[in-house]
């Protein structure tokens, strides 16, 4: 009752594309069904731990928050983490996303898996449109859409209660809206950009600052010559985006966030957390690499940059693969 009307509505909107409507609708539908199959399999066999155990954390917090909103009493851990107070913690978006669904429909992880599957399939359509605008080549657009719809790791992570399907959709929506603004200014595209930026801030605030900087740079220093009309259009969009973000977030909060995220000590703490590869019960499972490296100083950061960049762009390498999640990401390397 919840998912099918959403899917049919999105498919209908996609099918109205004047040139490739029918093909785009098929890509969306099959991409959605593929993700639903993965989500059902993970849900039925209880594979959240090996294939994306963060979803269990978000599921638990979401249920706890929904109970608090209904007038119940949450656990001491919930109040200790200050998540019961709105907007009081970093990356709160995914927790409130789950809680909102559970508040309305009850505890149903499978529902959220299906909704995220629809969002992930819609992202493939945005990728295809972005590729078409960049290259104007039908084959490149089709290949981009197919990879985004059916690539193993993208589909696997996009079929569960995780941040990735929401983040990817927001990022692609921003890029697509920027492309449309360059052609013809419409206020709705500026609204899409502001809304997607705020969603990213709630989901993964580090990416918010990177994306805001990228957007500002793209609008101020575009890659191709600007006509006076296009320059005015870009400046108008930049003004709307910055004014909207500053108004809704606050300039002081933004500057404070930038200052915190640029601290090498904080970056080192996050890198160590990732490198240790903690398991569901807190044990070190050894899935990371270079645990002994320290990037809390400029010298340490620059010294590790070549190796870190290599792993970031091309990892995991075949000799590093030892679990199912790494196997799904191996084609990306």
Long-range contact list for 252-259, CB < 8 A, 24+ apart? 254/209, 257/205, 257/208, 257/209, 258/209
Closest CA to 200 of 178, 157, 170: 170
pLDDT for residue 163: 93
Torsion sign over Cα 28, 29, 30, 33: positive
Rg, Å, the chain Cα set: 21
Q: How far is CA 140 from the centre of its chain?
A: 23
CB count in 10 Å sphere of residue 106: 10
Alpha carbons 166 and 174: distance in angstroms, whole number: 12
Per-residue burial over 285-324, b = 16 or more CB atoms within 10 Å of its CB, e = otherwise: eebebeeebebbeeeebeeeeeebeeeeeebbeeeebeee
* 3-state SS class at 278: strand
Instruction: Please give the structure tokens belonging to residue 260.
Output: 């915190």
- Note the pLDDT of residue 212: 85
Alpha helices in 184-227 (DSSP H): 187-203, 205-220
Full pLDDT tens readout for the chain, 333 residues: 888 898 999 999 888 877 778 889 999 999 999 999 999 999 998 888 777 778 998 998 899 889 888 887 666 555 545 554 444 456 789 989 999 999 999 999 999 999 999 999 999 999 999 999 888 888 999 999 999 999 888 899 899 999 999 999 999 999 999 888 877 778 888 899 999 999 998 898 888 888 888 888 877 766 566 667 767 777 777 788 778 777 666 665 665 655 555 556 666 666 666 666 555 455 555 555 666 777 667 777 788 788 878 877 777 777 777 666 677 767 765
Three-state DSSP class for residue 231: helix
CA-CA-CA-CA dihedral for 163, 167, 169, 171, to nearest 10: -170
Helix (H/G/I), strand (E/B), else coil: 288: coil
In the block, residue with structure tokens 């919930």: 78
- Residue 129 has a pLDDT of 92
| Distance from C-alpha of 316 to C-alpha of 272, rounded to nearest angstrom | 17
Bond preceding residue 207 cis, omega within 30 of 0: no
């Amino acid at each position: 009752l919840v998912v099918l009307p959403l899917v049919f509505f999105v498919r209908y909107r996609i099918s109205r594309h004047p040139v490739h409507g029918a093909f785009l609708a098929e890509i969306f539908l099959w991409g959605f069904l593929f993700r639903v199959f993965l989500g059902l399999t993970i849900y039925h066999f209880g594979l959240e731990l090996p294939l994306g155990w963060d979803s269990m954390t978000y599921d638990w917090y979401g249920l706890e928050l929904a109970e608090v909103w209904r007038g119940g009493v949450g656990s001491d851990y919930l109040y200790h983490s200050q998540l019961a107070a709105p907007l009081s913690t970093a990356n709160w978006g995914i927790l409130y996303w789950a809680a909102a669904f559970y508040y309305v429909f009850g505890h149903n992880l499978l529902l959220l898996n299906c909704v995220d599957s629809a969002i992930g399939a819609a992202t493939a359509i945005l990728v295809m449109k972005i590729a078409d605008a960049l290259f104007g080549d039908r084959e490149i657009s089709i290949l981009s859409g197919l990879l985004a719809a059916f690539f193993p790791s993208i589909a696997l992570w996009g079929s569960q209660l995780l941040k990735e399907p929401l983040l990817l959709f927001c990022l692609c929506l921003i890029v697509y809206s920027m492309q449309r603004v360059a052609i013809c200014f419409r206020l709705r595209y500026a609204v899409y950009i502001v809304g997607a930026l705020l969603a990213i801030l709630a989901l993964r605030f580090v990416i918010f600052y990177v994306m805001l900087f990228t957007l500002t740079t793209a609008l101020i220093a575009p890659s191709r010559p600007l006509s006076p009309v296009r320059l005015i259009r870009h400046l108008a969009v930049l003004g709307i985006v910055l004014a909207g973000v500053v108004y809704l977030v606050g300039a002081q909060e933004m500057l404070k966030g930038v200052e915190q995220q640029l601290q090498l000590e904080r970056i080192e703490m996050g890198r160590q957390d990732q490198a240790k590869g903690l398991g569901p019960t807190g044990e070190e499972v050894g899935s990371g690499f270079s645990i002994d490296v320290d990037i809390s100083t400029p010298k340490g950061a620059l010294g590790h940059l070549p190796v870190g960049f290599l792993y970031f762009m091309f990892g995991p390498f075949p000799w590093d693969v030892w679990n199912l999640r790494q196997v799904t990401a191996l084609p990306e390397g």
